[in-house]
Amino acid sequence: MDIKKIKETCLYVQNLDASKDFYHNKLGFKVIGEVAGRHVFFRAGASVLLCFNPEASKESKNLPPHFGSGQLHLAFEVEQQQYEPWKQKVQDLGIAIEQEFDWGGGFLSFYFRDPDEHLLEVVMEGMWERGG
């Protein structure tokens, strides 16, 4: 009984329109679901990124209520040859790169923030496939 992968990741955001602009219009993620005032869902490669209004999801009646706050972290994996183009894209959008890190073995990642100050990272494919 092994878990195959994390299918979806959730961020709680204060402004759904700003999140939609950032993830869809700037980063290019496809919108796959949206309910005004409650959530907007995006396709992120083979995964799904859920952005919820925490006050609306806290009051959920159809599904278990959930909410959160604070600056969360998630990483997007890209093919190694797409790493530099993604870094350039983020810079060209005027989004500050806070740090680039060399993980050794030829693997790099860089960090930046979304409109809610969630810490986002772009990592090279294969980084976690080596070792423990």
Task: Check if the beta carbon of residue 50 is closer than 8 Å to that of residue 8.
Answer: yes
Contacts of the segment 124-129: beta carbons below 8 A, 24+ positions apart: 124/77, 124/78, 124/79, 124/80, 124/83, 125/77, 125/78, 125/79, 125/80, 126/80, 127/77, 127/103
- Total Cβ atoms within 10 A of residue 94: 7
Residue 122 pLDDT level (bands cut at 50, 70, 90): very high
CATH of domain 1-69: 3.10.180.10
Average pLDDT over residues 25-37: 97
Q: How far apart are CA 105 and CA 101, in angstroms?
A: 12
* Domains in the chain: boundaries: 1-69, 71-132
Task: Check if the beta carbon of residue 67 is closer than 8 Å to that of residue 55.
Answer: yes
**Residue 27: pLDDT above 70?**
yes
The pTM of this model reads 0.93
Task: Check if the beta carbon of residue 96 is closer than 8 Å to that of residue 81.
Answer: no
38-87 residue pLDDT tens? 999 999 999 999 999 999 999 988 889 999 999 999 999 999 999 999 99
**Residue 131: pLDDT above 60?**
no
pLDDT reported for residue 130: 60
**Residue 98: pLDDT above 80?**
yes
Average pLDDT over residues 101-116: 97
Please give the structure tokens belonging to residue 84.
């530099």
> Does 71-132 match 1-69 at the fold level?
yes
Nearest one of 73, 97, 71, 74 to 84, comparing CA atoms: 97
The domain defined by 71-132 folds into: 2,3-Dihydroxybiphenyl 1,2-Dioxygenase; domain 1 (3.10.180)
Residue 36 pLDDT level (bands cut at 50, 70, 90): very high
H or E segment and range at residue 48: strand 47-52
